[in-house]
Structure 1
């Protein structure tokens, strides 16, 4: 289950929210912006709850149950896929599970109620009678059919007894009416349900399917071509069809389902799809795993081990198993383990490296995709100051903070971790592609020419850059053509900076200056301003945004003639307007707006 979002409206609920947060690693407290500071601010309750619900995030809302119901009501459709949703009184005096009976909402209600020392308001009949939700098996198990499950529980509530066949330790303490001769049976088995209405079938995810490529595909294709009535065109068609079935996503999935059907196994009993590690970037495999709704895992085999898929099972499985099916021509092997198996223990997953931007510093300006990447990361890397801004982190997450000058070493470290199957996040401030870590990551990848690094799933998540954040506070000074320039000559000669400044100023572009000044180069900003002043009027507006998005931020507008290097430090964003940039008073609020019109006179 994903970590829940704990949503509050006011400061009176914060203490209770923090107590609940301690129960769930990775959970965050969402608070209404302007009322109370927490982990994640939001501006409108209904929109925030619907966004969380739609993403499958469990919701613990510290407000009236009716408010929560009305907010998510437009999204209620499929009971089988809804996340847990609970309403909790602000003072912790009541815990009410609302939605997600099949996703463990009553389990959460009991956990939260125990922490708050109250009784949960559980109303589910089966849960009250039997002390557990029979239709909500634990992680690693799947209910064969929810419709049949509801009828089964109704029969139990009507007075029928049941027997349990198979390993179901989570039911040991349940107050089920049991009888060895009962007509009804709870069957825990990887075998497919045959439709009988006197059984509640629960499938342990205990089957691992390995798929291979290479010689088997060729043999299958040759056999198909040889049986094509001697016709050359028929032979080509048969060969192409066999190879396609072997290597396309639909073909892989069809072969897997055929093997499962041959042995009477349910698709829901699948724990993982397994392939050779040299196929990590094969999109057909990823699509096949998605269509089968299972994780995709990989095994490393030696060339001398040969092509049969059963060798992948031998390389990846670390516990006893029975090989049920081994067909090299179809490229499929099935292994059955005695109990449900955690997919994370099978071989290795494809590593992932996500380069994110935190935005200018405040949590509300971090894009949701960046927050999601951080939540799912095993490892977080970056300049130590930025890594601290990205927290808090769960105890099991590894944090690797480094000095700001170690960008390429940091990128190489990230690829080493990701190529070992870990989910890594590289943290930048602002936008990672604007004078930040995305370029360093790609530079390291290109220079390494490392196959293992190339197999890593690399994603770059945009962020709100310092220039954009400062511009938004000031109004719209970047409303027309603009450029971004770093005044640091650490990585490029000052002569190039001067040339670019001259061209940008002559082109009448609005200019955003990053890294405008430092103790090591106190003269460069004045030199840059001298160049700009040769092309811009002294009255040109200049926006100075210091630490925008962080505590203690300041925003000033001066003219180019007034600006002095003493007005600026390394944490200041300098936006120099064009000849058309304008400024005017805000009115009763005080201050002024700055904008660059979208037209030229």
Structure 2
């Protein structure tokens, strides 16, 4: 079983937190999800049914510390295909019971045994095959794939009815299973890369022991007689052409597999030249084949393409079954399943994320996913700590807040070696944060660092400080607005003054970042002097300090009342326009502040 996604441990109250933390130690990257307002955990949610259904729909393994009936009723409307459901378990709050509910083909019973062992209890496994044979025959380990689930069910039914079986091929995970065995049995468990011929007296399991090497035009032989340019492969064309080119590459691999009687499920990886890491057609082809995409740089001593890629990348003994230089496809067959991570290298990734204002429930899911998948995490030390919890195997590179460009270059150096790197910002990474620094580093360095250009770069948005503060106050940014940094570290104060004057004259709502510091104690007062030339003293001003973090405060005052002593570096200042208004919210004398969408 391959658990690509860390499980979510879902709890309802504080009584389950201790057990949840014990289970969390078993699975790298997993987090504790708690009902908002009841207990502080890693992730908060507001409604259990919606949250469980969302996790289930995304294929996330679920460990719910509550009654089994609650979980069943929540996810029941989504149950349809047993072959694709993730593991779902119910665990007693005190850890006294572990009940696997769903995901028998995704390893739920394996998880049940792991969790039960950690809690020192017996798992409540009810699967007939597992109880009888001590293993789930239909759930081979990572690196192996069942040929046909429907035939597998019939096969296990025959075993449960009293038939015996023999094993053909290498299946060490079944050595200790209590299977009824006989060398003369009618039924056979066959472990082979060869395609299943449809016989109903055998259970076929395919080891992922085949690697397909594909050369790309411009780096050796052409990919098919009808595809002999990079444009044909989709490098310079639109999405439809990219998809079609990927389909053509996948079709060539399928043809090669079919010519040798090999099952597509026996394919472990698609291997291509390193100089074509950014070719989207190859990404499409790997996705179509449902295998990882790996890269290698062949030397002259490795022979002619595409078999030279196999020689350069494979670290296990293999035989070349297929080597068609005209079609650009070669196949290698190993004796056992191949770990894709041992083949060549992967394409490095650099993901720039925003944590939001600080609260875990205001971090977008894509940012948490990037953190979970990262090998390396870079950022200002304070923000890196906010990104936790992190796994022990993740490398953390915390730096001072003034080292943005060095940090960005370091990120590309790491990612260009094939690592999965996350650059952490607070708020939104594109708002006075690291996204711009990363792109600047790439533009400056790509000409002298060719490997940087092959890095898969993504920027994940976050909830900015201005947006978080505005949401707390109501909707002061409800009409046209601008964001201005009052720091002159990277731009002259004369430019700041000019922009302040134009924004104030244009009657824009203004959100001030970096409003004041020990090194710049005078600049906020100067900015306010400019704004007051154009705005009435009664103009509404929102001050949000540490919004989204413990100890946050929110105040609404007027421009006439505002003094620099009301503000520090951790305060977001939102100055309303001439139309911004407020009214009592009925809670502790507070107000709702908003800027109407219309304009007089």
Q: TM over 0.5, yes or no?
A: yes
CA distance in 1, matches of 2:227, 2:59: 47
1:323-366: per-residue Cα shift (whole Å, max 9, x none)? 11111011110001111111011001111111000000000000
Q: CA deviation at 1:112?
A: 1.1
Q: Report the counterpart of residue 392 of structure 2 in structure 1.
A: 395
TM-score by length of 2: 0.95
Determine if the alignment matches structure 1 residue 135 to structure 2 residue 138.
Answer: yes
1:514 corresponds to: 513
When residues 86 and 246 of structure 1 are mapped into structure 2, their CA distance, relative to the original with a 3 A threshold, is closer
Equivalent in the alignment of 2:314? 317
* Contact 1:353/1:414, CA 8 A, preserved across alignment: yes
Shift of 1:213: 2.4
Deviation at 1:166, TM superposition (A): 1.0
Alignment of 1:297-446 (within 5 A): 297-302=294-299, 308-446=305-443
C-alpha distance in 1 between matches for 2:119 and 2:131: 20
Per-residue CA deviations over 1:377-431 (Å, capped at 9, x if unaligned) read 1111111110010011111111111111111111111111111111111000000
Instruction: Give the match for residue 240 of structure 1.
Output: none
Q: Does 1:101 align with 2:116?
A: no
Verify the 8 A CA contact 1:245 1:251 in the aligned structure 2.
no
The answer to whether the 8 Å contact 1:217/1:246 transfers is no
By how many angstroms is 1:121 displaced?
1.2
8 Å CA contact 2:302–2:311 kept in 1: the answer is no
Contact 2:302 2:309 in 1 (8 A): no
Deviation string, structure 1 residues 57-92 (Cα, Å, up to 9, x no partner):
100001111111111112212111111000111111
Q: Counterpart of 1:233?
A: none
Cα gap change, 1:246 to 1:512, in 2 (>3 Å)? closer
Q: For this pair of structures, how many residues does the alignment match? A: 581
Aligned-partner Cα distance in 1 for 2:144–2:171: 10
**CA separation in 2, counterparts of 1:290 and 1:562?**
60
Deviation at 1:47, TM superposition (A): 1.1
User: How far has the Cα of 1:558 moved from its partner?
Assistant: 1.1
Equivalent pair of 2:215/2:223 in contact (CA under 8 Å): no
Q: How far 1:26 sits from its partner (Å)?
A: 1.2
Q: Note the alpha carbon deviations across 1:108-139, whole angstroms, 9 max, x for none.
A: 11111122222211111001000100000011
Equivalent residues in 2 for 1:78-477 (5 A)?
Answer: 78-214=81-217, 215-217=220-222, 220=225, 248-302=245-299, 308-448=305-445, 449=447, 450-477=449-476
Q: Which residue of 1 aligns with 2:585?
A: 586
Shift of 1:302: 3.5
Between the aligned partners of 1:558 and 1:338, the Cα distance in structure 2 is 74
Counterpart selection for 2:9 from 6, 9, 14? 6
Residue 61 (structure 1) aligns with: 64
Displacement after TM superposition at 1:33 (Å)? 0.2
3-state SS of the aligned residue for 1:273?
A: strand
**Mapped contact 1:362–1:549 kept (Cα < 8 A):** yes
Do the aligned partners of 2:307 and 2:323 also contact (CA within 8 Å) in 1?
yes
Q: Matched residues in 1 for 2:248 and 2:473: separation?
A: 56
Distance 1:355 1:459 in 2: 6
Mapped contact 1:349–1:421 kept (Cα < 8 A): yes
- Structure 2 gaps of 5+ residues are 229-240
Q: Give the RMSD, CA atoms, in angstroms.
A: 1.7
Matches of 2:243 and 2:493 in 1, distance apart? 57
**1:573 match: secondary structure:** strand
Instruction: State whether residues 224 and 252 of structure 2, in contact with CA within 8 Å, keep that contact through their aligned partners in structure 1.
Output: no
Counterpart for residue 237 of structure 2: none
Q: Give the distance between the partners of 1:441 and 1:22, measured in 2 at CA.
A: 34
Q: Do the aligned partners of 1:512 and 1:576 also contact (CA within 8 Å) in 2?
A: yes
> Counting helix residues as a fraction of each chain, which structure ranks higher?
1
Aligned partners of 1:503 and 1:165: how far apart in 2?
79
Q: Equivalent residue of 2:29, what SS?
A: coil
Which stretch of structure 1 is more off in the superposition, 294-303 or 166-175? 294-303
In structure 2, C-alpha distance between the alignment counterparts of 1:545 and 1:80, rounded to whole Å: 49
Change (3 A) 1:246 1:337: farther
Q: Distance in 2 between matches of 1:34 and 1:492?
A: 43
Q: Residues 305 and 138 (structure 1 numbering): CA distance in 2 closer, same or farther, change over 3 Å?
A: closer
Match of 2:235 in 1: none
Aligned-pair distance for 1:142? 0.3
Does the CA-based 8 Å contact 1:209-1:335 persist in structure 2?
yes
| Whole-angstrom CA distance in 1 between matches of 2:481 and 2:186 | 76
TM-score, with structure 1 as normaliser: 0.95
2:398 and 2:355 map into 1 onto residues whose CA distance is: 15
* 1:550-569 deviations in Å (ceiling 9; x for gaps): 01111111111111111111
Quote the offset at 1:171 in angstroms. 0.6
Measured against aligned partners, the alpha-carbon deviations of 1:266-307 in whole angstroms (never above 9, x if no partner) come to 000000000000111111111111010000000012367665
The 10-residue stretch of structure 1 (114-123 or 575-584) with the greater mean CA deviation from structure 2: 114-123
Q: 3-state DSSP class of the match of 1:542?
A: strand
Superposed CA deviations along residues 526-562 of structure 1, whole A, max 9, x for unmatched, are: 0000000000011111111110000111111111111
CA distance in 2, matches of 1:107, 1:372: 24
Q: 1:245 to 1:515 in 2, by over 3 A?
A: closer
CA contact (8 A) 2:223 2:249 kept: no
Q: Distance in 2 between matches of 1:343 and 1:383?
A: 34
Question: Could you tell me how far apart the structure 1 residues matched to 2:317 and 2:135 are?
Answer: 31
What is the aligned partner in structure 2 of residue 525 from structure 1?
524
| Contact 2:242–2:281 (Cα < 8 Å) also in 1 | no
